[in-house]
């Protein structure tokens, strides 16, 4: 997206995000109760704020790792190619793994990453997305936990960027061009 003048309208407050994360962390701790260690995999860069808040609410032994994927549109085939730019540092075979995504939009990124990680034979593989735009979906995929379903709007803040700006906003805002 080329940068045009815009304003940001608050969509989800910092307080609502914090309350939702507390509830989600509780559910996740229940699901993985008794694990020796949960490998929490953040998808860079958009999930870095979410993962930081989520792990601090998780009452489980955790290890944190990161993976960076990039998806490129292919107009000719109306498909997406997902490339891994940075892979995990650790092995996940036989481990409990939670993939943390900022937004599930078309779904290509999460679908690709889950297929890739499943092939490494983790014991349990689950996913969580802070935001979900269900109306944009191109591949059939749902995160196991979702923070908030949102309409088809371009959003920023809480780790999510517009041309590398606005990641440091404490809330989720909607970009409105003026």
Residue whose C-alpha is closest to residue 43's, from 119, 92, 98: 98
Residue whose C-alpha is closest to residue 7's, from 152, 177, 172: 177
Question: 53 or 105: whose CB is closer to ligand IMP?
Answer: 105
Contacts of 2 (CB under 8 A, 6+ apart): none
Q: Least CB distance from residue 153 to ligand IMP, whole Å?
A: 7
- Asked if 16 is part of the footprint of ligand IMP (rule: CB under 6 A), the reply reads no
- Part of the chain binding ligand IMP (CB under 6 A), chosen from 11-19, 85-93, 105-113, 164-172: 105-113
Cα 146 from chain centroid (whole Å): 9
Contacts of 92 (CB under 8 A, 6+ apart): 39, 41, 117, 120, 122
Name the residues annotated as catalytic. Answer: 105
Q: Least CB distance from residue 43 to ligand IMP, whole Å?
A: 6
- Part of the chain binding ligand IMP (CB under 6 A), chosen from 15-23, 27-35, 92-100, 104-112: 104-112
Which parts of this chain interact with ligand IMP (CB under 6 A)? 46, 71, 101-110, 154-155, 160
């Amino acid at each position: 997206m080329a940068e045009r003048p815009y304003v940001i309208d608050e969509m989800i407050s910092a307080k609502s995000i914090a309350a939702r994360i507390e509830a989600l962390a509780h559910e996740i701790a229940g699901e993985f109760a008794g694990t020796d260690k949960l490998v929490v995999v953040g998808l860079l860069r958009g999930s870095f704020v979410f993962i930081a808040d989520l792990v601090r609410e998780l009452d489980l032994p955790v290890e944190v790792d990161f993976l960076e994927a990039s998806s490129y549109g292919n107009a000719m085939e109306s498909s997406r190619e997902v490339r891994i730019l940075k892979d995990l540092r650790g092995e996940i075979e036989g481990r409990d793994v939670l993939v943390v995504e900022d937004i599930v939009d078309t779904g290509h990124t999460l679908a690709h990453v889950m297929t890739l990680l499943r092939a490494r034979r983790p014991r349990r593989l689950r996913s969580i997305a802070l935001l979900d735009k269900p109306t944009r979906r191109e591949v059939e995929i749902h995160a196991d936990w979702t923070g908030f379903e949102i309409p088809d709007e371009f959003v920023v803040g809480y780790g999510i960027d517009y041309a590398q700006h606005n990641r440091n906003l404490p809330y989720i805002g909607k970009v409105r061009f003026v």
